[in-house]
Amino acid sequence: MKVTIVDYNSGNISSVINSFEEVAKDKVNIEVTSNLDKIKSSDKLVLPGQGSFKSCVDALNNISGLIDTLNEYIINKKKPLLGICVGLQMFADVGHEEAETKGLGWISGKVSKIDNQNGKYKLPHIGWNQINIVKDSKIFKSIENNSHMYFVHSYEFIPDDKSVIAATTNYSSNIVCSIEKDNIFGTQFHPEKSDTVGLQLIKNFIKL
């Protein structure tokens, strides 16, 4: 089996690579590439994302044919994909970070700045926070509710269809921190930085 981490120059993804390689332990081929043919032939995709919504979407657009290839992979072939942080946010129709930017449109909704309640909550939201698992999601197998995950973000994904929400975290309000819709999975938190619990989630995704 081949799991491909899409490298589209969205920042440092070494911790994502290291955690997937640690979990795979030579039993699964982990590839890091933006090569369209290699992406097409992989069994599962990981879409990381660091930086702003706009910068990540721009980076995808800068690689000719990449978004079309992702659409074919996700929408038509319905193969599994895990989006991490901004990788999840880009599932939305639109993001409002830096400038209003069109997203991938895989899950209808928008990405908006977290309401910090007039400075009561610090932004970005950085650090460990408990998650509330609200859906029997395959990627949370053997993970206890109220586990702590590691977050770094100032914006939140607000889906139109609440049935896609797999987990939330309480920071200023109930923020969506994981979604599952058919073959599409996403986490706002960083599983690669969330110790053994995060590695379990990565293992669950690889085992899908």
CA atoms within a 13 Å half-sphere pointing along the CA-CB vector of 162: 4
153 is catalytic: no
The continuous run of DSSP H or E covering 18 comes out as helix 14-24
Q: How many CB atoms lie within 10 A of CB 183?
A: 17
125 is catalytic: no
148 is catalytic: no
C-alpha pair distances (Å), 118 with each of 4, 111, 121, 162, 204: 41, 19, 8, 27, 39
Yes or no: say if 27 and 103 are a contact pair by the CB < 8 Å rule.
no
Nearest to 155 by CA among 89, 82, 83, 57: 89
Catalytic residue among 156, 177, 180, 190: 190
Catalytic residue among 56, 85, 153, 156: 85
Q: Which two tokens stand for residue 9?
A: 């120059």
Catalytic residue among 97, 156, 180, 192: 192
Yes or no: say if 152 and 124 are a contact pair by the CB < 8 Å rule.
yes
CB-neighbour burial class of residue 55 (10 A; exposed 0-12, middle 13-18, buried 19+): middle
Catalytic residues: 85, 190, 192
